[in-house]
Amino acid sequence: MDSKPTKLQRHIAEALSVDISADSEAVASARIRQYVAPAIGEKAYDEPATEKQIDFAGKLGLDVKEDTKGIASAKISEELHTRNLAALQQLNLKPGDRVRQKHSGEINGEDYEFYTEHIVSSITEYGRVFFKGIGCKSAWPTQIEKITKQHN
């Protein structure tokens, strides 16, 4: 998301003397909200970024050590959205396409990894890919790969 702050955000930020000149729309929103948080009863909004946020942001190539929870959250969300849109464009998915989703993690100190195959049913305007079948199974584009030919 390379969007710039909206006209209204710039107007509000100027009235509050909050600098959003280098921010995207999402980060500007978080910065304005952080400024007014105490006045609207959102005391936790200006707390420092959590260790989890700092670690996760670092894995994304972001430095949020000096940011608040709200600003860190906006920056992380923005980066994930940018990556998902790029992956969606690269995958060039449409309903009916076959995809493979990677699942990985750790249980009791043991790493695991497995794949599931799905058929794309729809893609939201935000890039979330939904699959055919029972339930609302879905994934972000960065979590899947397109199956281009059938393996027998």
Helix (H) or strand (E) holding 145: strand 144-146
| Whole-prediction pTM | 0.78
Residues whose CB falls within 8 Å of the CB of residue 45, separated by 6 or more in sequence, listed in order = 33, 34, 37, 68, 69, 70
Same domain flag for 129 and 64: no
The tally of domains found in the chain comes to 2
54 and 96 both lie in a single domain: no
The answer to whether residues 26 and 75 belong to one domain is yes
- Residue 151 inside a domain? The answer is no
Task: State which residues form the domain around 22.
Answer: 7-88
Residue found by looking up tokens 């200006």 in the block:
46
User: What is the pLDDT, as a whole number, of residue 149?
Assistant: 75
For residues 142 and 121, membership in a common domain is answered with yes
Phi, psi (deg, nearest 5) at residue 97: -70, 145
Residue 85 in tokens: 């849109």
- Positions in the chain short of pLDDT 70: 1-2, 44, 150-152
Is residue 2 a part of any domain in this protein?
Answer: no
Q: Are residues 11 and 45 in the same domain?
A: yes
Length of the chain in terms of residues written: 152
